[in-house]
Amino acid sequence: MLDTAGFTYRIVQSPGLLVILYEETTSVPRQIFMDSRELPRDPNPTWLGYSVGKWEGDTLVVDTSGFNDKTWLPNAMPHTEKLHIIERYTRPDLAHLNIDVTIEDPDTFVKPVERHVQWLFTPGEEIFEAICAENNKFQQYSSFK
């Protein structure tokens, strides 16, 4: 959620689940469970972690842990499997989505790292398939290689 690198994202909402579809090189959708469950105590580490969300007024708060130590963070930021990320999504107007991110990892950082990201709402845009392969034209023209 930290860097869109010019890619399109789509957020799909149902009563108990938010799903984020990515145009970038991952084909795995991100699941954010909205059914009041807690984070697992000992999750199986994955690339996208395990996310639970809740509404605090007009702000969506997403709490994620259970990352493997191979997850990519901006600027090649190192981390361990103790990585914990909290995102706060707000929509100040129809065209923008603000995301305030707090990154914690007690084995890597002496204090939490905070980032702010703003997404632009682009109605009508489609998500293109991006496969990490030799003949992928999408990768040829992208700055994300």
| Bigger pLDDT: 25 vs 61 | 61
Beta strands 30-33; 50-56: pairing state: parallel
Task: Report the SS3 class of residue 113.
Answer: strand
Query: pLDDT digit string (tens) for 32-82?
Result: 999 999 999 988 999 889 999 999 999 999 999 999 988 877 767 889 999
- For the chain, the distance separating the N- and C-terminal CA atoms, rounded to the nearest angstrom, is 18
Q: How confident is the model at residue 137 (pLDDT cuts 50, 70, 90)?
A: very low
Count of CB atoms within 10 A of residue 39's CB? 15
The DSSP code sequence of 43-111 is PPPBSS-EEEEEEETTEEEEEEE-B-TT---GGG----TT-EEEEEEEEEETTEEEEEEEEE-TTT-SS
Q: Does this model's pTM top 0.85?
A: no
pLDDT at position 91: 95
pLDDT at position 135: 47
Which DSSP symbol is given to 24?
S
pLDDT at position 77: 81
pLDDT at position 115: 93
